[in-house]
Structure 1
């Protein structure tokens, strides 16, 4: 999927291709957050880009006959026009995405280009309208069918039928090429610390409003709710909602083998997380020796609070084809643990889950380069892995072809070079070389 962004904050114009691993680097205030949040928004609200007019004939046919059938060629042909590259609806949504109350993003725009699928997995989906009408969609053997069942054909508006057909078609056809996004924002330290307080304040506010409703007052309490607006951008609100909803999230289990990523998390922290019903998230170790502990998350280290959401995402939500966005994954980690974070990212990518990160960490990039090198075959590889078995296994590798790296600079994004020997980031190298040059000069003068 390709994303093109124009006139968005610091970004004048940029383009990026989402890959299995997408990395954004750049100076502070170079536009990385704008790119990250808008990409998240485009994936979350991708229905804004559905071209419903392209389903006019199909909606007329299904109203007339009660069923439509499309063969593989017809699906491919329709899929080429089913999504618009640019959406006026999403353009209006950008202000909401960033909680822009000052018309800063009035000129902002975003375009998407989605890879066109050529084969289609068997699947089913349905949309119910009221008690009397249902649309049942299915793909089997590269043939798409939608059946329309209703007790009264006069009940449904033709435009609504067209939207339902468009939704069913796009959900089934593009489900495997448009990833479901989950974002772990840079605000995660505060979210993990204060999410319980947010809940308590919300409950207190509701109680106060209920009391207000019982009083003789000209202000209706629910008018206050309608007039309130969030202080946070949509990605931050969604991250808060994720953390507050862990009680429900943990009822599910991810459908991928997350044992190795969880092993790396345990190596980083030396402990694990658990969440009992309606109780605080707890940070604990199974070790029966003297250093055994079991404490609430708010008493845990900042490094634990920075990785807790990744832990619960992997255990209960992760599925192949997802996109996990992590803002500054190295935050609050030692250099050793930044290297382990690189291994964690690689292990998630190798599960078939796409990862999008922003980073300021040269160490994290250098460890990713080691993993790229380990993807190569070389004569001494087996012996080397044996000698370094405490740090690396055969699972620790990255295919450089699956990585895209961009640097935010001068209101745009520059695509950086990457090969089977690693990622080249002059932005980091120049600053490090400058630091060592100064240190060397000063050491020479003193000596």
Structure 2
């Protein structure tokens, strides 16, 4: 779907990453995992791609013929003629990201990305993807309503005026905008980032809202009573106070929206997924009356989000994504899915991740958890036809592994960021799963140290006992 090659991305000197249905990024603290995972999300941010396409095509002759729509109520538009431009602009995203996009996404000034070189390759057959899909969209412009339809195995959009108004002052480029939205929606996933700051966001989002309200009131008062320079200083202070990255702002908004959630449930939130999530959280969330609360499985107490455990706060946005946002055209980036989870629940989280992947969601994770990765490896090994089916069934039943969580190793790519070399490298993934050398070395070192100290202490206590 996408390949990103880069130099000087934050602390990482170089690397190349290609997305798979499940992409795993590992590394020590402060090596740049979040820079990589959030850059992936930034590369797939659809609204900026559409804006760049519109700006590029603004002076071209590629828009639909507005006169035909005006006089005859409908027209046809062959989108094949803009496909080369779509592909060209998508490939040129690297230039925008290098100069401005990542600074805006991370909401930072200065020179962090000034030496960044990035090359993005979108790996899709544009013509085949668009040609094969059916598209239907209703678009309103003022009092006019239009229906956009593209049948399967065709490049032709049929645009029909179905509104009340007899007069049509709709711009040609609004038609082009709708067509581009549909094309980009078909080609690029809807991307959600769930940050490692999610626990703090779940705890403090109401305090943030209160602070914003207080500052808004202060600005309103200043506008009436003070000079322009004071107002400028105050608005600058507000900007500095809420200087969050795009992903964190999105997480705050997702929790705010969760208070009055009326969305239909996703088809991916089936009974099996619901059971996995309830096992991790130990209950279920209640979203109503401007409050997100939690009800433990064995009890009648309803707990406000601010008073829940860190593990419950950590799981909320992941469940919210699965419950309301996810579909088979989604991509989710989860920073440290194991956050605040005990070892048994890290196993359940690995199963949530693979079930999502098997449902068509593209998943990118960053992780420090060898326990979560070992469960991923278990789920990959169980996909092997080398294991006799009766033995496989016995394992699945003994360890209560949902069949929908078993994943093919071909659907997984893993990457490690080396702290010493400051480079991102691919990790081997085979029928046994992901190569865990990064974790195994640390575990062996710790075990060796533990054995040595245990031996010394044991000898000392034995000698002391003999002397007594």
- TM class by shorter-chain length? 0.7 to 0.9
Which of 39-48 and 327-336 deviates more? 39-48
Give the paired residue count. Answer: 435
Residue 211 of structure 1: how far off its partner (Å): 3.3
Residues 334, 365 of structure 2: 8 Å contact kept:
yes
1:210 corresponds in structure 2 to 220
**Residue 85 (structure 1) aligned to one of 70, 89, 92:** 92
Q: Give the Cα–Cα distance (whole angstroms) in 1 for the partners of residues 136 and 313 of structure 2.
A: 39
Displacement of 1:192 in angstroms is: 0.4
Q: Deviations over 1:164-200 (max 9, x none)?
A: 4654444323423311111110111110001111111
What residue in structure 1 maps to residue 151 of structure 2? 140
State the partner residue of 1:8.
Answer: 9
Is 1:254–1:316's contact at 8 Å kept on the other side of the alignment? Answer: yes
Cα contact 2:43–2:93 (8 A) shared by 1: no
Query: Could you say which residue in structure 2 is the equivalent of 1:62?
Result: 65
Deviates more, 1:315-324 or 1:254-263: 254-263
SS at match of 1:175: helix
State how far apart, in whole Å, the 1-side matches of 2:432 and 2:234 are. 58
Which residue matches 2:30? 29
Change (3 A) 1:165 1:414: farther
Q: 2:31, 2:175 → 1: CA distance?
A: 41
| Alignment counterpart, residue 96 of structure 1, candidates 104, 108, 120 | 104
Of residues 407, 423, 428, the one that matches 1:398 is: 407
CA distance in 2, matches of 1:325, 1:250: 24
Give the distance between the partners of 1:286 and 1:335, measured in 2 at CA: 20
Equivalence for 1:239: 251
- Provide structure 2 residue ranges, at least 5 long, that are not aligned to the other structure: 70-74, 460-468
SS, match of residue 405 in structure 2: coil
The verdict on how the C-alpha distance between 1:369 and 1:358 changes in structure 2, with shifts beyond 3 A counting, is same
- Using the TM superposition, give the Cα deviation of residue 48 of structure 1 relative to its aligned residue in structure 2, in angstroms: 5.5
Tell me the distance in 2 between the aligned counterparts of 1:421 and 1:51.
Answer: 47
Residues 94 and 120 of structure 2 are in contact (CA less than 8 Å); yes or no, is this contact kept in structure 1?
Answer: no
Report the CA distance between 1:284 and its aligned residue: 0.5
C-alpha deviation, 1:411, in angstroms = 3.1
Q: What are the equivalent positions in structure 2 for 1:298-309 lying under 5 Å apart?
A: 298-309=306-317
Asked whether 1:296 is paired with 2:314, we answer no
The answer to whether the Cα contact below 8 Å between 1:374 and 1:396 also exists between their aligned partners in 2 is no
Q: For residue 192 of structure 2, what is the aligned residue in structure 1? A: 182
Q: Which residue of the partner structure matches residue 436 of structure 2?
A: 425
Asked if the contact 2:347–2:372 (Cα under 8 Å) also holds between the matched residues in 1, the reply is yes
Task: Summarize deviations over 1:83-127 as a string: whole Å, max 9, x none.
Answer: 333354443122121222223222334432222241432112365
Runs (4+) off by over 6 Å: 132-135
> 1:330–1:364: 8 Å Cα contact kept in structure 2?
yes
1:33-432 to 2 correspondences below 5 Å:
33-44=34-45, 45-47=48-50, 50=53, 53=56, 58-59=61-62, 62-63=65-66, 66=69, 67-70=75-78, 80-81=87-88, 83-90=90-97, 91-114=99-122, 115-117=124-126, 118-119=128-129, 120-125=132-137, 131=142, 137-141=148-152, 142-145=154-157, 147=159, 151=167, 156=171, 161=172, 164=174, 167-215=177-225, 217=227, 224-225=234-235, 228-229=238-239, 230-279=242-291, 281-285=292-296, 287=298, 291-378=299-386, 380-386=388-394, 388-389=396-397, 391-409=400-418, 410-432=421-443
Bigger Rg, structure 1 or 2: 2
- Aligned to 1:69, the other structure's residue is in SS state strand
Corresponding residue SS for 2:108: coil
User: Residue deviations 1:369-394, cap 9 Å, x none?
Assistant: 00001112355444553465352132
Distance 1:57-1:208 versus aligned 2 partners, 3 A rule: closer
Query: For the aligned residues, what is the CA RMSD?
Result: 3.1
Give the whole-Å Cα distance in 2 for the aligned partners of 1:314 and 1:60. 38
- Greater helix share, structure number: 2
Mark the CA change 1:379 to 1:55 in structure 2 (over 3 Å): closer, same or farther: same
3-state SS, counterpart of residue 311 of structure 1: helix
Structure 2 distance, partners of 1:151, 1:356, is 48
Distance apart, 1:327 and its partner CA: 0.4
Deviations 1:35-55 (A, max 9, x none): 122221222233365385468
Deviation per residue, 1:342-400 (Å, 9 max, x gap): 11111111221111100000011000000001112355444553465352132230111
CA shift at 1:217, angstroms?
5.0
Report the TM-score, using the length of structure 1 for normalisation.
0.86
SS in structure 2 of the partner of residue 50 of structure 1 = helix
Q: CA deviation at 1:80?
A: 4.1
Q: Which deviates more, 210-219 or 86-95?
A: 210-219
Taking the aligned partners of 2:185 and 2:402, their CA distance within structure 1 comes to 33
Cα distance change, pair 225–254 in 1 and its aligned pair in 2 (3 A): farther
2-side partners of 1:249 and 1:139: how far apart?
32
Residue 358 of structure 1: SS of its match in structure 2? strand
CA contact (8 A) 1:54 1:81 kept: no
SS of the aligned residue for 1:245 comes to: helix
